[in-house]
Structure 1
Amino acid sequence: MKLYYEAFPAGRPTRIVITVTCLFSFILYGFEQGALANIQNHPVFQKQFGYPTGNYLGIIVSIYNLGSFFGCLANLYLGDRLGRKKTIWFGFTLVIIGTILQTSSYEVVQLFIGRFISGLGTGLETSTVPMFQAEVTPPEKRGGMVAAEPQGVALGISISYWIGYGCSKRFDQTSWRLPIGIQMLFAVLGWVMLFFCPESPRWLMKRGYVDDAKTSLSRINNVSKDDDSVNKLINDILYLQEMEGEGDRISWRMILRGQDAMHGRFRIFLAMLVQFWNQFGGVNLVVYYVPMVLESNVGMSTNISTILGGCIMITFFFFGFIPTLWLDKIGRRTALISGSLGQMVSMMMITILLRIGGKKCSAGSVAFFFTYMAFFGAAMNCVPWVYGAEILPLQLRAKGTAISTSTNWISNFVIAMITPIITENLGWKTYIIFTMTNAAAAVTIFLFCPETTRRTLEDIESIFLGQTTIFHGVVAHRPFNDTDVKPLAEVEHVENADKLLESTSV
């Protein structure tokens, strides 16, 4: 496998192929979510699986998210043992198997199993990819590159919506099998492109493969293995391994009790927090069910609801370019807080207009579904994945990313499961709930989340070292002043860093 990536052009081409490969995992994430949005009400699909509604429909939709949750938990064990690349490979393989089962389903049990297996694969991918991307990308490019991955969610949803709309005009088995089966193309492409990606140098160092780590860094940055920048990164990583208790000297019990010097418990909490708000802002009320919601709550026809749903997803996709292009300029905190406030206002306006009722007000509420997805695409879709990967320490990055991503998926499962029930029973009052959750998101992010923009993964460590407060969002919020963060060597001097490098070189 090494021969493939060493034969590929170094530097920018290698970073692009890494980003595109990672993008495929999030395209699959979005595609699987959007695929059922259009076909769930199609008469052929309905007849095939017993006319599901309410709880039954919620289970069909959410079983995928439950599988993804368990995939994230599996990554707690697999992530550091297999490495980043092999874990993603395994995930793509499971998605391929799950898609075959779904596409060939004639009974609902097989559909359940296929969606659960696809979810397992997606959970493995999405809990590994942000960490992998963050570990192989230079700090000045990391925000935009990692933010490009969740943009694949918007792309996947948009593609699946319009494929589903096109197939909705058919009244045979292809009306629902084709929209589900096409996702296999993205899984196969991602599986193949992994051959041309180097392994994470930080994971290689963690396993003691120093020479391989140097090779990986040289390919990513297009410099020689003996370049000063490579040696500096190697020394920084060794330094952190010593400081963070490499060799299993820090137990999970110590972390859960808050007894580790790197504040692992609180940093895992921060990664979980932003992923929780990613889902509990109400996005999957729109993604999974917007055609149904526009029919039942707004009173539109099936055809118009489906077309508007597709247009809403296109809006989501294009606004997703904002963090890709400007996240490293505007900062993580600013994006998260402003995005949450924008979503709050959108949900509040939907609530007011649907409460007033009438044809004009109900039609006017549709505009705020568009603004909601615009704000979500510009901030909450991408930034939690970047932030979670950055905020976690090296020793806990695989496990912490798996835990935070599992938070996303179990929240996703809950929202997907309850949405058909609450929209059916509460109507316009549903949107009051999500107005309040988005307000809570803005407040908690303001209080607890420090800025990570333009800081190396190693420099982020110094935000937490020696701190006792939990209100890092208040005391460490200044994003771009380099004097706020001391280099690692100024935080604590380790005299044997060079000896460590010599002793672990191969």
Structure 2
Amino acid sequence: MSHFLGLRGRRLNYVALLGVFMPTMMSMGYNLGSLGGVLTLERFEAQFPQLDVNHAHPSERHYKSTLQGTVVALYAVGGFLGAMVCIGWGDVIGRRRTIRIASVIQLIGAFLMASSFNISQLVASRVVLGLGCGGQLATVPIWQSEISPAKKRGAHVGTTGVFVGMGLTMALLVDLGMSFVHRSVSWRLPVALPILFSLPVITFTSRLPESPRWLIHRGRLPEAREVIASLRDTTTDNEMIEKEIEDVMSSLAIAGKGSFAQVFQMGHQRIFHRASLAVGGLVLLQLTGISCITFYSTTIFETHLHIHPVTSRILAAGYQLSGTIGGIVCVFTIEGFGRRPLLLLSAVANTICMILIAGLSSPATNNIGSHAAVVFMFLFHFSMTVGFGGIPFLYASEITPLSLRTTINGISSGIWWALSALAALVTPIAFNALAWKFYLIFTCLNATMIPIIYLLFPETAGLALEDIDELFIMSTGVLDTVRVARKLPHKSKDAPLQGDTDSEKSNGAPLRRCRSL
């Protein structure tokens, strides 16, 4: 019956996770870290002297720092544009097709960048590369969450931190190895490697299932039945499939047509409230300060902490690896502990690490202080990834109604990319102007996140995607959702839509309450 590579059930989910989600997130991490690692390479500086800050005359340093930040930030600008395109087209052409198109665009961007011989082509390639990655990031977490079982949804999408960390680590290790090569291949090969990430995504998405929720949304019920049967490893005539389809259609009826204007209206489903939480989670991720350090980790170690260039590259790779370890911790704890506790613990640890980094790096000539600051930078990346590495992307795909899921995730991803571009642009300037005081800004921001998360972000672990509609319908205000979420039963059993509705919902209880409102 199934034509999805002959796979069904759990095996089908694992292939989707490893064949599409993993290379997509690794490519995002790799792209975030690769250019920052080649900025100080001899052949790159010779090819693009406009970006050579290390050998610049003091009078030119500010200009070149600004230009360097702009070029790095253009990747995020492209990501913003890619996410915005998904708002209009993501729900029209489907999850899989959007992912494939975005992957092809990323492949083209990597090729253009690797073949750059002047600053203009480099600038254009950064935008194209970001355009593809932005489309992927706005769509892949949605697709993965919609085909994953409820009790595994958090762990599956939570692997974002693991795979992004793996990509970042790979980028810096490649940059380290190529730093010993004194030819143009030293930087051309590293920036060409995203081509290898795009190829498996393009291949697997052509053979793996479309989101059953999107198929139901588009009225393609026979295909939806086959996908659900494959994901559940059952037959298409199983009576539970009809009940699952009915629940999704009821959820769609409650949400309405899903027009863009609805995003800015509250309504009985509190859509604007939900959109604000989706955007807010990704904004908090950026405000941790992770992008500022990730983009320029090698430069921070070498230029601002005065560590030997080779050692700096090794430390930068180790720094990214600590994030991978944090992501693994998140995967194994996210369903047991829940989203809220991990976010709160992460915000507390981030605050402590940031203030210690600021204090230890303030005396620029203190080698012991600099080395201790490196330790707390590692701990910061670990703690940040445990809470914020994957949960904001998961949260944005969980709390949004099906009819507006792509639109709201496109907006959320677009704002995340816009802040990422801003971070890449201002970081070189801010470090030159503020030095260690720059970390104090993020100390305050991380501390502010603690009450925000505690008061505003409800727990979603164990809830079916359709049950989350009920959570917001039952809420009477912005501060009420956390209380309501505590009262809802958070199930651990697999739901019918490959775990997205629970065994109790098979009797129609939660959505019956929704339909009666």
TM-score, normalised to structure 1, is 0.93
CA distance change for structure 1 residues 381 and 129 in 2, over 3 Å: closer, same or farther? same
CA distance change for structure 1 residues 3 and 117 in 2, over 3 Å: closer, same or farther? farther
* Residues 1:294 and 2:301 are matched in the alignment: yes
CA distance change for structure 1 residues 158 and 224 in 2, over 3 Å: closer, same or farther? same
How far does the alpha carbon of each residue in 1:458-489 deviate from its partner, in whole angstroms, 9 at most, with x for none?
11111110422101464235388449x99423
Which range moved further: 224-233 or 9-18?
Answer: 224-233
How far does the alpha carbon of each residue in 1:341-376 deviate from its partner, in whole angstroms, 9 at most, with x for none?
111111011112123552222221111001001012
2:288 aligned partner: 281
Which range moved further: 351-360 or 135-144?
Answer: 351-360
Partner letter of residue 294 of structure 2?
Answer: V
* Residues 1:328 and 2:350 are matched in the alignment: no
Which range moved further: 268-277 or 18-27?
Answer: 18-27
CA distance change for structure 1 residues 477 and 428 in 2, over 3 Å: closer, same or farther? farther
1:413 aligned partner: 421
* Residues 1:24 and 2:46 are matched in the alignment: no
For residues 54-69 of structure 1, the aligned pairs below 5 Å read 54-69=65-80
* Residues 1:143 and 2:154 are matched in the alignment: yes
CA distance in 1, matches of 2:144, 2:81: 22
2:13 aligned partner: 15
Question: Are the equivalent residues in 2 in contact too, given 1:239–1:494 (CA < 8 A)?
Answer: no
Deviation at 1:331, TM superposition (A): 0.4
How far does the alpha carbon of each residue in 1:291-319 deviate from its partner, in whole angstroms, 9 at most, with x for none?
21122322212111111111111111122
2:56 aligned partner: none
2:44 aligned partner: 45
CA distance in 2, matches of 1:141, 1:229: 20
Question: Are the equivalent residues in 1 in contact too, given 2:470–2:514 (CA < 8 A)?
Answer: no
Deviation at 1:224, TM superposition (A): 0.9
Deviation at 1:340, TM superposition (A): 1.5
Question: Are the equivalent residues in 1 in contact too, given 2:251–2:511 (CA < 8 A)?
Answer: no
CA distance in 1, matches of 2:474, 2:284: 28
State the Cα RMSD in Å: 1.9
Partner letter of residue 330 of structure 2?
Answer: P
CA distance change for structure 1 residues 398 and 44 in 2, over 3 Å: closer, same or farther? same
Question: Are the equivalent residues in 2 in contact too, given 1:102–1:114 (CA < 8 A)?
Answer: yes
* Residues 1:310 and 2:310 are matched in the alignment: no
Partner letter of residue 8 of structure 2?
Answer: A
CA distance in 2, matches of 1:402, 1:303: 39
Partner letter of residue 447 of structure 2?
Answer: A
CA distance in 2, matches of 1:415, 1:91: 24
2:144 aligned partner: 133
CA distance in 1, matches of 2:223, 2:69: 47
Deviation at 1:278, TM superposition (A): 1.0
2:326 aligned partner: 319
CA distance in 2, matches of 1:235, 1:494: 15
Partner letter of residue 29 of structure 2?
Answer: G
Pairing partner for 1:201 from 208, 212, 227: 212
CA distance in 2, matches of 1:87, 1:489: 30
For residues 385-400 of structure 1, the aligned pairs below 5 Å read 385-400=393-408
Deviation at 1:177, TM superposition (A): 0.3
* Residues 1:36 and 2:35 are matched in the alignment: yes
Partner letter of residue 348 of structure 1?
Answer: I
Which range moved further: 412-421 or 289-298?
Answer: 289-298
* Residues 1:403 and 2:402 are matched in the alignment: no
The alignment of Structure 1 onto Structure 2 pairs a total of residues equal to: 488
CA distance change for structure 1 residues 321 and 228 in 2, over 3 Å: closer, same or farther? farther
Question: Are the equivalent residues in 1 in contact too, given 2:456–2:479 (CA < 8 A)?
Answer: yes
* Residues 1:471 and 2:470 are matched in the alignment: no
* Residues 1:488 and 2:510 are matched in the alignment: yes
Question: Are the equivalent residues in 2 in contact too, given 1:85–1:194 (CA < 8 A)?
Answer: yes
CA distance in 1, matches of 2:363, 2:484: 43
Question: Are the equivalent residues in 2 in contact too, given 1:451–1:479 (CA < 8 A)?
Answer: no
Which range moved further: 295-304 or 371-380?
Answer: 295-304
Question: Are the equivalent residues in 1 in contact too, given 2:265–2:271 (CA < 8 A)?
Answer: no
SS class of match (2:206): helix
CA distance change for structure 1 residues 464 and 426 in 2, over 3 Å: closer, same or farther? same
Deviation at 1:37, TM superposition (A): 2.1
1:262 aligned partner: 269
1:350 aligned partner: 357
CA distance in 2, matches of 1:50, 1:231: 63
Deviation at 1:457, TM superposition (A): 0.2
TM-score, normalised to structure 2, is 0.91
CA distance change for structure 1 residues 201 and 11 in 2, over 3 Å: closer, same or farther? same
1:442 aligned partner: 450
Deviation at 1:159, TM superposition (A): 0.6
Question: Are the equivalent residues in 1 in contact too, given 2:475–2:481 (CA < 8 A)?
Answer: no
For residues 368-387 of structure 1, the aligned pairs below 5 Å read 368-387=376-395
Question: Are the equivalent residues in 2 in contact too, given 1:23–1:150 (CA < 8 A)?
Answer: no
Partner letter of residue 410 of structure 2?
Answer: A
SS class of match (1:465): helix
Deviation at 1:411, TM superposition (A): 1.0
CA distance in 1, matches of 2:434, 2:166: 31
Deviation at 1:286, TM superposition (A): 1.9
Q: Which runs of 5+ in 2 are unaligned?
A: 52-63, 492-503
Partner letter of residue 162 of structure 1?
Answer: L
* Residues 1:81 and 2:92 are matched in the alignment: yes
Deviation at 1:163, TM superposition (A): 0.6
Question: Are the equivalent residues in 2 in contact too, given 1:280–1:415 (CA < 8 A)?
Answer: no
Partner letter of residue 36 of structure 1?
Answer: L
CA distance in 1, matches of 2:27, 2:259: 35
CA distance in 1, matches of 2:72, 2:425: 7
How far does the alpha carbon of each residue in 1:79-131 deviate from its partner, in whole angstroms, 9 at most, with x for none?
00110000000000001111110010001111111111111111111000111
CA distance change for structure 1 residues 377 and 479 in 2, over 3 Å: closer, same or farther? farther
CA distance in 2, matches of 1:26, 1:368: 25
CA distance in 2, matches of 1:377, 1:252: 32
Question: Are the equivalent residues in 2 in contact too, given 1:28–1:156 (CA < 8 A)?
Answer: yes
Partner letter of residue 175 of structure 1?
Answer: S
Partner letter of residue 277 of structure 1?
Answer: L
CA distance in 2, matches of 1:480, 1:321: 28
CA distance in 1, matches of 2:319, 2:480: 36
2:60 aligned partner: none
Question: Are the equivalent residues in 2 in contact too, given 1:451–1:476 (CA < 8 A)?
Answer: no
Deviation at 1:231, TM superposition (A): 2.4
SS class of match (1:196): coil
Question: Are the equivalent residues in 1 in contact too, given 2:344–2:453 (CA < 8 A)?
Answer: yes
Question: Are the equivalent residues in 2 in contact too, given 1:275–1:405 (CA < 8 A)?
Answer: yes
Percentage of pairs with the same residue: 27
CA distance in 1, matches of 2:485, 2:259: 30
Deviation at 1:490, TM superposition (A): 4.2
SS class of match (1:416): helix
2:127 aligned partner: 116
CA distance in 1, matches of 2:100, 2:458: 33
